[in-house]
C-alpha cells in the first residue's frame, strides 16, 4: 500500500483482482476487477455477474507475470447494490476465516445413532489442517 508523508494512508486503495464463484444463474464465473479497500477497512468491488447476499466468492490478487500466483481468499457477499447503467453490481465483502476442527465427544453429527459395535471411533485432531490455513 502506498503511504503519504506522516502516518496517513491514501484511501481508498484499489487492487486489481480476479474474482471467481457461482453466479445467481448457477454458472461458474471468473472476472477481473478492482477491489476497493476503504480507510475503515470496508472492501467492495463491481462485478458484471449478479450475486445474492451471502454468496461465497474467491478473490485473488493479480500478480505480475514474474511473481508467483497468490492464494485465493474466500469472502462472503455481505451487501449488494442494484446494477448500475454500466451493467455492474457493487458488492460489499466480508473476509471468511478458517475454523479449527474441534472434537465434540459424545455428540453425533447425524440424527441416526450408529451401532457402536460395528463402527470404531475415529481419531480427532484439534490441529488446523494445512489446507485450512490462509496466509
CB contact set of 117 (below 8 Å; sequence gap of 6+): none
Q: In this structure, what C-alpha cell is assigned to residue 95?
A: 473476509
- Domains of the chain and CATH, by start: 1-135 (2.40.10)
41: left (phi over 0), alpha (psi -120 to 50) or beta: left
| pLDDT at site 43 | 95
Q: Is 81 helix (H, G, I), strand (E, B) or coil?
A: coil
Q: What is the pTM of this model?
A: 0.64
Q: 24-48: per-residue pLDDT in tens?
A: 888 999 999 999 998 888 999 999 9
Q: 52-102: per-residue pLDDT in tens?
A: 999 999 999 997 666 677 889 999 999 999 999 999 999 999 999 887 776
Amino acid at each position: 500500500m502506498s503511504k503519504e508523508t506522516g502516518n496517513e494512508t491514501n484511501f481508498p486503495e484499489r487492487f486489481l483482482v480476479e474474482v471467481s464463484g457461482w453466479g445467481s444463474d448457477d454458472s461458474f464465473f471468473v472476472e477481473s476487477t478492482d477491489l476497493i479497500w476503504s480507510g475503515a477497512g470496508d472492501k467492495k468491488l463491481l462485478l458484471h455477474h449478479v450475486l445474492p447476499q451471502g454468496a461465497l466468492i474467491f478473490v485473488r490478487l493479480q500478480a505480475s507475470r514474474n511473481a508467483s500466483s497468490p492464494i485465493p481468499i474466500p469472502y462472503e457477499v455481505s451487501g449488494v447494490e442494484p446494477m448500475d447503467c454500466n451493467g455492474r453490481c457493487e458488492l460489499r465483502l466480508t473476509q471468511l476465516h478458517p475454523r479449527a476442527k474441534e472434537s465434540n465427544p459424545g455428540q453425533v453429527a447425524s440424527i441416526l445413532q450408529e451401532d457402536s459395535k460395528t463402527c470404531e471411533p475415529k481419531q480427532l485432531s484439534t490441529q488446523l489442517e494445512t489446507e485450512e490455513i490462509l496466509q
